[in-house]
């Protein structure tokens, strides 16, 4: 007979392969005002992030790791030889409340293998969130992984109680999905995402008209596994661009494929470098916040892959040197955003400061926390890069050297 702790060990471990758990963008709730249990922000909540930026302050578990599907890349697939466990709805509710009150977590990330049927499983997942919200007045963050084949009515119930919904597209190419997850149906995944997008927009519209209108999840996200198939970085970014455009996703998460225990023979034996995942996240930000198109990011890539030695914006700038140097005192925002080393916040501050005075190199250094990368690309009141932009060894000079990690750091 498994104890709750035994189940927790199995079902928390089984959930670790899902990267789509960051809580950014959730509706703000404060338990001090509502007298509910838990807030999505504020004092007393344990915020912890792994070194790679992933949020780890959620109770991140599966309801069960039994699954009737046989997706090759998944440790929970029906043919996998792993220990199985299943929580009841009440057990997940108790664990969430218990951990929350001890300040271990800021919320719950709940996913599940598919048991009996997509509807049965989704009903159980939704019940957890409904009991937390409606019976215990839990105000903390809830992210539910939804099952695309489930009844739209269940997805609507999930959205009514969750802060974030997600449906994993899993693989960047439909052909790979057909090969590695034959029971998943890309058309149904797209339809479910489209339905959620519609509900989110309707709820936002209704809330604009009345703040008492029923709430719905503030966003949906998805995850793509990187390196389990042959899709190159540009194909992955193209898929992400379409997902952002068609379904208004809050985030696309990129999860470097890691070989799983008892792996299927059709999978690669090694994982891709973690730096590949990091470069994809940087390129994703260029698409969402810096005005880049995939075709522009492609200019700094080779054979469809991003440069692992330099970030994608620097890679683009090195291929477009004729557009530099940029005068930080006169250039438009769109061009400042393309300067390597400049972030959206520092550009905003530059635009505001330069209304009152001419910016010097030390001002830029203060706003950007350094100018090593940007110096060859900019002109300031007291700085001209001369021929630095044309140096043949510029990429080499700006590339971050690969470093051996310190065992005792
Ligand atoms: S449906 Fe989900 S849990 Fe089941 S095998 Fe596929 S990826 Fe794993």
Among 180, 202, 222, the domain-final residue is 222
On whether both 201 and 332 belong to a single domain, the answer is no
Among 201, 222, 243, the domain-final residue is 222
Q: How far apart are the CA of 77 and the centre of ligand 1, in A?
A: 6
Mean pLDDT, rounded, for 220-229: 91
Give, as one character, the DSSP assignment of residue 183: T
Return the structure tokens found at 384. Answer: 């001209």
Quote the mean pLDDT of the chain. 87
Are the C-beta atoms of residues 113 and 62 closer than 8 Å to each other?
yes
In a domain, 146, yes or no: yes
Number of structural domains in the chain: 2
CA-nearest residue, atom 1 of ligand 1: 69
pLDDT in tens, 365-392: 999 988 889 999 999 999 999 888 889 8
On whether both 213 and 345 belong to a single domain, the answer is no
In a domain, 162, yes or no: yes
**pTM of the predicted model, to two decimals?**
0.85
| Structure confidence at residue 44 as a pLDDT band (50, 70, 90) | very low
Name the residue of 19, 71, 115 to mutate for ligand 1: max ligand atoms within 8 A of Cβ.
Answer: 71
What are the residues whose beta carbons fall under 8 Å from the beta carbon of 218, sequence distance 6 or more?
25, 26, 27, 163, 164, 200, 250
The Cα–Cα gap between 171 and 223 comes to 8
Name the residue of 62, 74, 149 to mutate for ligand 1: max ligand atoms within 8 A of Cβ.
Answer: 74
Q: How far apart are the CA of 92 and the centre of ligand 1, in A?
A: 20
The Cα–Cα gap between 328 and 379 comes to 6
The Cα–Cα gap between 373 and 396 comes to 12
The Cα–Cα gap between 152 and 354 comes to 52
| Structure confidence at residue 271 as a pLDDT band (50, 70, 90) | confident
Are the C-beta atoms of residues 286 and 306 closer than 8 Å to each other?
no
On whether both 209 and 339 belong to a single domain, the answer is no
In a domain, 285, yes or no: no
Task: Report whether the peptide linkage leading into residue 325 is cis, meaning its omega lies within 30 degrees of zero.
Answer: yes
What are the residues whose beta carbons fall under 8 Å from the beta carbon of 300, sequence distance 6 or more?
306, 307, 310, 312, 314, 315, 316, 317, 318, 319
Among 168, 188, 222, the domain-final residue is 222
Q: Are strands 219-226 and 251-256 parallel, antiparallel or unpaired?
A: parallel
Higher pLDDT: 189 or 268? It is 189
| Structure confidence at residue 106 as a pLDDT band (50, 70, 90) | confident
In a domain, 28, yes or no: yes
Q: How far apart are the CA of 168 and the centre of ligand 1, in A?
A: 10
The Cα–Cα gap between 323 and 379 comes to 12
> What pLDDT does 259 receive?
75
Q: Is the CB of 180 under 6 A from ligand 1?
A: no
Name the residue of 66, 69, 223 to mutate for ligand 1: max ligand atoms within 8 A of Cβ.
Answer: 69
The Cα–Cα gap between 26 and 143 comes to 10
Ligand 1, atom nearest to 114 Cα:
4
pLDDT of 269 above 80: no
In a domain, 203, yes or no: yes
On whether both 328 and 209 belong to a single domain, the answer is no
Mean pLDDT, rounded, for 141-162: 94
On whether both 150 and 8 belong to a single domain, the answer is yes
Give the least confident one: 20-24, 145-149, 376-380.
20-24
On whether both 335 and 214 belong to a single domain, the answer is no
Secondary structure of residue 305 in the 3-state scheme: strand
Helices and strands per DSSP (H, E), number in the chain: 15, 8
Q: CB under 8 Å, gap of 24 or more: what pairs does 180-185 form? A: 180/71, 180/72, 180/73, 180/228, 180/229, 180/266, 180/267, 181/69, 181/71, 181/72, 181/73, 181/74, 182/70, 183/69, 183/70, 183/71, 184/69, 184/71, 184/148, 185/148, 185/149
Give the least confident one: 54-68, 90-104, 160-174.
54-68
Ligand 1, atom nearest to 75 Cα:
8
The Cα–Cα gap between 131 and 118 comes to 20
On whether both 341 and 210 belong to a single domain, the answer is no
| Structure confidence at residue 258 as a pLDDT band (50, 70, 90) | confident
The Cα–Cα gap between 149 and 68 comes to 13
* Phi/psi at 272 (5° precision): -70, 160
CA-nearest residue, atom 3 of ligand 1: 113
> Domain containing 394: what range?
324-398
What are the residues whose beta carbons fall under 8 Å from the beta carbon of 189, sequence distance 6 or more?
148, 167, 169
Q: Is the CB of 113 under 6 A from ligand 1?
A: yes
Q: Is the CB of 74 under 6 A from ligand 1?
A: yes
> What pLDDT does 35 receive?
56
pLDDT of 137 above 60: yes
Q: How far apart are the CA of 45 and the centre of ligand 1, in A?
A: 31
Give the least confident one: 38-42, 123-127, 285-289, 402-406.
38-42
| Structure confidence at residue 102 as a pLDDT band (50, 70, 90) | confident
> What pLDDT does 370 receive?
81
Q: Is the CB of 77 under 6 A from ligand 1?
A: yes
Q: Is the CB of 71 under 6 A from ligand 1?
A: yes
Q: How far apart are the CA of 19 and the centre of ligand 1, in A?
A: 14
How many CA within 13 A on the CB side of residue 354? 22
The Cα–Cα gap between 1 and 346 comes to 57
The Cα–Cα gap between 144 and 129 comes to 8
Ligand 1, atom nearest to 70 Cα:
5
Q: How far apart are the CA of 85 and the centre of ligand 1, in A?
A: 15
In a domain, 279, yes or no: no
On whether both 215 and 359 belong to a single domain, the answer is no
Name the residue of 64, 114, 115 to mutate for ligand 1: max ligand atoms within 8 A of Cβ.
Answer: 114
Higher pLDDT: 303 or 20? It is 303
In a domain, 275, yes or no: no
Return the structure tokens found at 121. Answer: 């499983």
Q: Is the CB of 389 under 6 A from ligand 1?
A: no
Q: How far apart are the CA of 253 and the centre of ligand 1, in A?
A: 17
Are the C-beta atoms of residues 378 and 323 closer than 8 Å to each other?
no
Q: Is the CB of 114 under 6 A from ligand 1?
A: yes
In a domain, 102, yes or no: yes
* Phi/psi at 98 (5° precision): -65, -45
Q: Is the CB of 76 under 6 A from ligand 1?
A: yes
């Amino acid at each position: 007979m498994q104890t709750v702790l035994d189940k927790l060990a199995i079902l928390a471990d089984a959930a670790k392969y899902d990267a789509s758990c960051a809580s950014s963008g959730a509706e703000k709730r404060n338990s001090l005002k509502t007298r509910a249990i838990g807030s999505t922000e504020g004092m007393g909540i344990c915020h912890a992030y792994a070194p790679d930026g992933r949020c780890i302050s959620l109770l991140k578990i599966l309801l069960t790791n039994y699954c009737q599907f046989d997706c090759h890349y998944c440790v929970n697939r029906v043919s996998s030889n792993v220990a199985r466990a299943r929580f009841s709805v009440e057990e997940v509710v108790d664990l969430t409340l218990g951990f929350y009150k001890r300040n271990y977590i800021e919320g719950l990330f709940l996913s599940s293998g598919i048991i009996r049927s997509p509807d049965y499983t989704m009903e159980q997942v939704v019940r957890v969130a409904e009991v937390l919200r409606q019976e215990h007045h839990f105000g903390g963050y809830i992210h539910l992984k939804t099952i695309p084949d489930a009844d739209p009515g269940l997805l609507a119930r999930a959205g009514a109680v969750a802060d974030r919904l997600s449906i994993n597209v899993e693989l960047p190419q439909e052909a790979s999905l057909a090969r590695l997850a034959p029971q998943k149906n890309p058309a149904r995944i797209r339809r479910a995402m489209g339905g959620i997008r519609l509900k989110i927009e309707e709820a936002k519209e209704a809330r604009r008209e009345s703040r008492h209108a029923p709430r719905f999840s503030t966003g949906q996200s998805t995850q793509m596994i990187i390196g389990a198939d042959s899709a190159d970085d540009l194909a992955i970014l193209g898929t992400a661009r379409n997902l952002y455009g068609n379904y208004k996703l809050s985030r696309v998460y990129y999860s470097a494929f890691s070989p799983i225990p008892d792996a299927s023979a059709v999978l690669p034996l090694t994982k891709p470098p973690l730096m590949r995942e990091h470069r994809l996240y940087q390129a994703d930000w260029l698409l969402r916040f810096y005005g880049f198109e995939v075709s522009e990011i492609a200019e700094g890539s080779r054979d469809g892959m991003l440069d692992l030695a330099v970030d994608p914006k620097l890679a683009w700038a090195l291929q477009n040197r004729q557009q530099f140097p940029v005068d930080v005192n006169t250039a438009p925002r769109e061009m400042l955003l393309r300067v390597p080393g400049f972030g959206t916040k520092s550009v905003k501050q530059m635009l505001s400061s330069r209304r009152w005075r001419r910016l010097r190199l030390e001002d830029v250094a203060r706003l950007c926390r350094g100018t090593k990368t940007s110096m060859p690309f900019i002109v300031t009141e007291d700085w001209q890069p001369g021929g630095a932009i044309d140096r043949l060894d510029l990429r080499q000079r700006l590339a971050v050297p690969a470093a051996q990690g310190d065992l005792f750091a």
